[in-house]
Structure 1
Amino acid sequence: AYGNEAEIGRAMKDSGVPREELFLATKATSVPLGMAEPTYLEAIFANQLQALQTDYLDVYMLHAAGVRGERLETVWRGMERLVELGRVRSLGVSNFGVEELEELWGFAKIKPVYMQNIFKVYKQGEQILSASGGGGVVQWARDHGVMMVGYSTINSWPHMLPPLQDPHVLSIAQARGRTSSQVLHRWALQHGIAVIPKASSLARIRENAQLLDFELSAAEMLALDGLATLSESTHDQLRPAWIADVFALHRAPGIVAHSSASAAVGQAHLGASVGVRFMQVLSDRQCIREPEEVKARQFSLGGGGHQLSACQEACAAQPDCGFFTFYQSTGYCHMFRTCAEQIDASDGAVVHARQ
């Protein structure tokens, strides 16, 4: 689909690896650009198989929803026929939104099982990370059993600051002893998104292979999620609305985060009792207390008047405690297993996450 099928075909042949041990995917690229006739699709597909030196594909994707209505259905029927003939094992789509997916789902006899869309920290678009947000591509894929694959995870377009050079990403990478690329791809993986990182050298191939031997903390994930609010928010609206206001933009008249809020994201605290580290990730917010399952085994310290250190130690002592809300004005402490949803709060509320 990107002019490299002949090279891939030669590489597969030269490798000596049996075809059944390889997973091969490509895209029906020219079809959505205006040619929807099944005979044209079959000609494209035949040329692709010849270049790849194989007689079948594991996944064949429709590159984009460039055609709609009857023409989209005509193209999809042609792709379904390739499955029926045994030339393709499963079908997929790329660059589809929820509206296009719903249309396709309505008439497809063979449903797509694979979707490849852009997925990056700065511009998550419709790709909502929170199950409670509703309406997003990622959640739609999960609900319908479609595997989501993210591309351009480290690509800077259309932003001025490359995510590989973002100071928040660099800080996490330095603390972890990893590269920025590894941190960003690991972030996507922990959201259940498969990744397809590009590599043009042996060193990068090895770097990309080392994504499964470490895990980002809940605080680090929350900080990376919040980067989208810095790139997407306007002077009067926090966006995306489904992502936690990590940088406290809701307190500012514009999109510039308060320096104290930015510093809070990087401020780590030590749970003195067992050496567990916590990071303050939100201010003037509190974790939602329902349903009951979100609460840690010990939910509170009982009444107010407590110190932050006592709240840290109580959470650190509970393996199921991942977050706590501490109210600086009253000394109340509430502990949680998860903090996927938050609301505005008073009394100097701050949320800390276990690292």
Structure 2
Amino acid sequence: MDHLTLNNGVEMPALGLGVFQTPPEETRAAVQAALEAGYRHIDTAAAYGNEREVGEAIAGSGVDRSEVFIETKIWISDYGYDETLHGFEKSAAKLGVDQIDLLILHQALPSEFEKTLDAYRALETLLEQGKVRAIGVSNFMVDHLTTLLDKASVAPAVNQIEVHPYFQQREVQALGAKRGILTQAWSPIGGITFYREGEHTSTLQDPTIVAIAEAHSKSPAQVMLRWHLQQGRSVIPKSTKAHRIAENFDVFDFELTADELAAIDALDTGKRGGPEPTDITLENFGRPIPEA
């Protein structure tokens, strides 16, 4: 498996299992299947409501805790300095761990950016205390990153954003690369685009991707994950099906050519599948994160 070195020297497996929208009752089995397939990186979030099941699956897997890279996220309802410190305690207790490998802020709060900055300051404190090994952000756009970098003592190690062939956010990626911030792709195979504007527009059926997949005797999903990995991104594909989880991990035995990479690059539509970052407010998206 490939590893990526974060800007503070911590090594992170490039490919992980995402558990966004995975019901808690299905999460244990999905994480167990991933660990059996060779995954050593699991991405969850306080807002997903399945941190406890992720922790239970890791604890019961027989894989040593030190071998599994655990990533989770603080939700906007827990922003603020003291609130975010407590958000860490809630997540760590649910996961059943003393230390989290990568802790990130789930969204920017553009209308209350001071709260976002206070939350990030709490992440810096947790990093200094050794309670987390690396810190980062998610869904931060260029202006959010620029403001944060202006104020922060520690640059984020990761910015987890929507990236797939149909939406590539090159400006955000370029700023990250310039400042040593790794881009981590959520929805890396474009799952969020599968039904868009009333049409079936699945990346899995895209003629360009299908042709490349056939040339390598791989699936379209494997080709898209390979595209990310060869361009230096971290990926966290999500599935609850054991055979898909294993298939998504089987991407380290082939390489795309420069022409194939360029052909996938050319598919960018500029259309976001997830919510607009400017729409994220406590009024619209705030919800309490339960205690452990």
**TM-score w.r.t. length of structure 1:** 0.58
The aligned runs of 1:154-303 (5 Å cut-off) are 154=189, 155-157=191-193, 159=196, 160=199, 161-228=201-268, 231-232=269-270
Is the alpha carbon distance of 1:38 and 1:188 closer, same or farther for their aligned partners in structure 2, counting shifts above 3 Å?
Answer: same
- Quote the Cα distance in structure 1 between the aligned partners of 2:192 and 2:153: 38
Report the secondary structure of 2:164's partner residue: coil
SS in 2 for 1:175: helix
Q: CA deviation at 1:156?
A: 4.3
In structure 1, the partner of 2:84 is: 41
8 Å Cα contact 2:76-2:107 kept in structure 1: no
1:140-177 Cα distance to aligned partner (Å, 9 max, x none):
11111111111112214263311001122111111211
Give the Cα separation in 1 of the matches to 2:270 and 2:60.
46
Percentage identity across paired residues of the two chains: 37
**Deviation for aligned residue 1:232:** 4.6
- Contact 2:80–2:116 (CA<8 Å) still a contact in 1? no
- The answer to whether the 8 A contact 1:156-1:163 is kept is no
Aligned length: 219
Deviations 1:271-306 (A, max 9, x none): xxxxxxxxxxxxxxxxxxxxxxxxxxxxxxxxxxxx
Q: How big is the alpha-carbon RMSD for the aligned residues of Structure 1 and Structure 2? A: 1.8
Deviation at 1:101, TM superposition (A): 0.5
Show CA shifts across 1:307-346 (max 9, x none).
Answer: xxxxxxxxxxxxxxxxxxxxxxxxxxxxxxxxxxxxxxxx
Who is 1:61 aligned against?
Answer: 104
Instruction: Say if 2:185 is the partner of 1:139.
Output: no
What residue number does 2:134 align with? 90
**TM-score relative to the length of structure 2:** 0.70
Match of 1:121 in 2: 165
Q: Report the structure, 1 or 2, having the larger helix content.
A: 2
Instruction: Spell out, residue by residue over 1:35-80, the C-alpha distance to the aligned partner (whole angstroms, 9 max, x if none).
Output: 5332222222211111100011111100011145432221212222
Residue 103 (1) aligns with residue 147 (2): yes
CA displacement at 1:107 relative to structure 2: 0.9
1:75 to 115, 119, 122: 119
Structure 2 unaligned segments of length 5 or more: list them: 1-44, 272-292
Structure 2 residue aligned with 1:268:
none
Instruction: Return closer, same or farther for 1:51/1:178 CA change in 2, 3 Å cut-off.
Output: same
Shift of 1:118: 0.7
In the alignment, residue 111 of structure 1 is paired with which amino acid? Answer: A
CA shift, 1:227, in A, is 1.4
Which residue of 2 is the match for residue 345 of structure 1?
none
Shift of 1:191: 1.6
Pick the aligned partner of 2:71 from 25, 29, 35: 25
Deviations 1:6-63 (A, max 9, x none): 11111111112222221111000134xxx53322222222111111000111111000
Match of 2:93 in 1: 50
Alpha-carbon deviation of 1:221? 1.5
- Report the Cα offset of residue 112 of structure 1: 0.8
Aligned to 1:6, which of 39, 52, 55? 52
Q: What residue in structure 2 maps to residue 244 of structure 1?
A: none
- 2:184 maps to 149
